[in-house]
Chains A and B, each alone.
Chain A
Amino acid sequence: MIQSIADALSYTFMQNALIAGLLVSVACGIIGALVVVNRIVFISGGIAHAAYGGIGLGYLFKYNLLPTLMAGSAAALSDRPGYFPIAGAILFSLLSALAMGWVQRRTRQRTDTVIGVMWAIGMALGIVFVDLTQGYKVDLMSYLFGSILAVKRGELVVILILDLIIVGAVMLFYKELLALSFDETFATVQNVPVDAIYLLLLCMIALTVVMLMRVVGLILVIAMLTMPAAIAGRFVRDLKRMMALAVGLGLVFTTLGLWVSYAWNLTSGAAIILVSGSGYLLSLALKPWLSRI
């Protein structure tokens, strides 16, 4: 077994996948904790699916902001299979997050209806954009179930930057985020700009979702955001510790999931989720013993 792990680690794509798992776990744990305590799992799903519109747009224009930013070092990136239009996805998911937040805050419409509508429209736009794209057609499956084994070094840098943005923003606005999550009315009375903080939270969810889309895929984004955080929430009584524990659990799940997918030749995204799901069920079973300690 040690030999097979050593073999696995000798592949660059495996190293990249492990680093991607680590980086994603950080954002997942922190944002996942906020998603779980705010009960906005559904809106996260909506943002994720609306972001697919951005991916379609990225293909349609065969234009990626990343190569221009990185001075042409990856100029030909968009012609290769496995190309991920991350700029389009980030832009679209941020816009959809802001739109959902705005609609939710400004109108008296039922929130879940609004999210459901945008969820469907975003996804449909993505598919139509891909239909309109000439030449190479994207494999939808790779976005539904992720392709962590195809993550490239340049993308790791982007994920790292997104991580830093998320960790920095949560640290800077932690007291407001905690107050908003715990008791929004009281936070409002204390003159906390709750609308702005809520939109900031949705934007951070959008960034996390874009990362997760690459790693575990659109369909499984919700599970990956919620499961480590939900497990952590059962064992701690402090939001910061919940975030830290969720990061740790995410790390264990992605690493273990990758190994499982390597050892049995399974789809990596699905393997990661099944490992997380087993962890979740285990935590339900272990809770009576662990809380007695």
Chain B
Amino acid sequence: MNRTSSDAVITIEHLWAGYDRDTVLEDVSLTVHEHDFMGLIGPNGGGKTTLVKVLLGLLSPTRGRVRVMGVPPKKGRRYIGYVPQVVAFDRDFPVRVWDVVRMGRLGRRRLLQPYNAEDDAEVAEALSQVEMLRFKDRSIGALSGGQRQRVYIARALAAQPEILLLDEPTASVDPQVTTSIYELLQSLNAHMTIVMISHDVGAISSYVKTVGCLNRHLFYHEDDQLSPEMLELAYQCPIDLIAHGVPHRVLPEHGEHGSG
């Protein structure tokens, strides 16, 4: 793994962040390299969403330095394709799939500047990438959870991002749909960096290249191995997790730990 710092797309150095006097992230340092597929897992309240907010420039760090494509998040976020969680969604909102995906082009069009043919081409391209083009005139509320998640991925892709940042992309979809979303992400990973937040330890680890555990602190080793120690540090209840079934590829047997 001859990685240099020049191919880093996200660098976080000694980040502290939180709300008012309530610190959620403590001394988090992380480098995401180009074409990485990073999974960040951790318990609820462990700071996953806070980290997303910091990366998107929605929350300023209290301490530390964050760079996205070499610039602060507020400037760097135009390189990020953001895919939010699909929970708390208004099914009655009158908007078509096409118009939702076109919102991914907003960053390219200033106020008073209408969408143009180039935007339409990008929207069509993004929709066919996620195999949702034939649903373009559907109402967003009429889609299933998995289809909606694909539309949100298309919206992020329409921005032509360098980095895809997903917050719990499989939080509200069935297991087989989860698999198809991870496979889609894996194919997208060929030409873009992906950072994915999840609390789903089992599924995430079969697809990602590197994995980290987030619970106030970040436990991260730049490979796809989740050591029992990392999980224990992050969750403070490793036995419970193993009982729920973690693929053996992620959690090596105690004997083979370290051989990778």
Q: Are A186 and B112 in contact (CB under 8 A)?
A: no
Q: Are B84 and A185 in contact (CB under 8 A)?
A: yes
A111 → B minimal CB distance (Å): 17
In the assembled complex, A124 has its CB within 8 A of some CB on chain B: no
From 4 to 44 in chain B, residues with beta carbon under 8 angstroms from any chain A beta carbon are none
In the assembled complex, A82 has its CB within 8 A of some CB on chain B: no
* A residues in contact with B95, CB < 8 Å: 178, 182, 237-239
* B residues in contact with A192, CB < 8 Å: 106
Per the bound structure, the CA–CA distance linking A122 and B71 in Å amounts to: 46
- A175's contact among B90, B96, B109, by CB below 8 Å, is which? B109
Question: Which residue of the partner chain B has the closest CB to A237?
Answer: B139
In the assembled complex, A176 has its CB within 8 A of some CB on chain B: yes
Per the bound structure, the CA–CA distance linking A186 and B84 in Å amounts to: 8
Q: Are B78 and A191 in contact (CB under 8 A)?
A: yes
Per the bound structure, the CA–CA distance linking A186 and B115 in Å amounts to: 17
Measured as residues with beta carbon below 8 angstroms from the partner, the interface class of chain B is 20 to 34
Question: Which residue of the partner chain A has the closest CB to B115?
Answer: A175
Measured as residues with beta carbon below 8 angstroms from the partner, the interface class of chain A is 20 to 34
* A residues in contact with B90, CB < 8 Å: 37
B94 → A minimal CB distance (Å): 5
Interface 9-residue window, one of B97-105, B186-194, B235-243: B97-105
Per the bound structure, the CA–CA distance linking A242 and B95 in Å amounts to: 10
Given known pairs A172-B112, A175-B115, A179-B103, the reply for A188 and B93 (CB within 8 Å) is: no
B80 → A minimal CB distance (Å): 7
Given known pairs A37-B94, A239-B94, the reply for A183 and B84 (CB within 8 Å) is: yes
In the assembled complex, B82 has its CB within 8 A of some CB on chain A: yes
Classify the secondary structure of A's interface with B: helix
In the assembled complex, A236 has its CB within 8 A of some CB on chain B: yes
B40 → A minimal CB distance (Å): 18
Per the bound structure, the CA–CA distance linking A193 and B114 in Å amounts to: 16
* B residues in contact with A183, CB < 8 Å: 84, 103
Question: Which residue of the partner chain B has the closest CB to A197?
Answer: B111
In the assembled complex, A107 has its CB within 8 A of some CB on chain B: no
Q: Are A237 and B107 in contact (CB under 8 A)?
A: no
Per the bound structure, the CA–CA distance linking A241 and B96 in Å amounts to: 11
A24 → B minimal CB distance (Å): 22
In the assembled complex, A189 has its CB within 8 A of some CB on chain B: yes
* A residues in contact with B155, CB < 8 Å: 186
Q: Are B107 and A191 in contact (CB under 8 A)?
A: yes
* B residues in contact with A181, CB < 8 Å: 93
A117 → B minimal CB distance (Å): 23
- B107's contact among A37, A190, A239, by CB below 8 Å, is which? A190
In the assembled complex, B56 has its CB within 8 A of some CB on chain A: yes
* A residues in contact with B214, CB < 8 Å: none
Contact with B along A170-208 (1 / 0, CB 8 A): 001101101101110111111111000000000000000
From 225 to 253 in chain A, residues with beta carbon under 8 angstroms from any chain B beta carbon are 233-234, 236-239, 241-242
From 123 to 145 in chain B, residues with beta carbon under 8 angstroms from any chain A beta carbon are 138-139, 141-142
Per the bound structure, the CA–CA distance linking A242 and B139 in Å amounts to: 13
* B residues in contact with A172, CB < 8 Å: 112
Per the bound structure, the CA–CA distance linking A42 and B55 in Å amounts to: 33
Q: Are A176 and B94 in contact (CB under 8 A)?
A: no
In the assembled complex, B92 has its CB within 8 A of some CB on chain A: yes
- A189's contact among B56, B92, B93, B114, by CB below 8 Å, is which? B56
Given known pairs A239-B94, A242-B94, the reply for A178 and B107 (CB within 8 Å) is: no
Question: Which residue of the partner chain B has the closest CB to A242?
Answer: B94
Question: Which residue of the partner chain A has the closest CB to B103?
Answer: A179
Per the bound structure, the CA–CA distance linking A36 and B90 in Å amounts to: 12
Listed A/B pairs (7) with beta-carbon separation below 8 Å: A173-B111, A173-B112, A176-B106, A189-B107, A190-B103, A190-B159, A191-B107
List residues of B whose CB falls within 8 A of some A CB.
56-58, 77-78, 80, 82, 84, 90, 92-96, 99-100, 102-104, 106-107, 109, 111-112, 114-115, 138-139, 141-142, 155, 159
List residues of A whose CB falls within 8 A of some B CB.
37, 172-173, 175-176, 178-179, 181-183, 185-193, 233-234, 236-239, 241-242
The 4 A-B pairs of least Cβ separation, nearest first, read: A237-B139, A190-B106, A190-B107, A242-B94
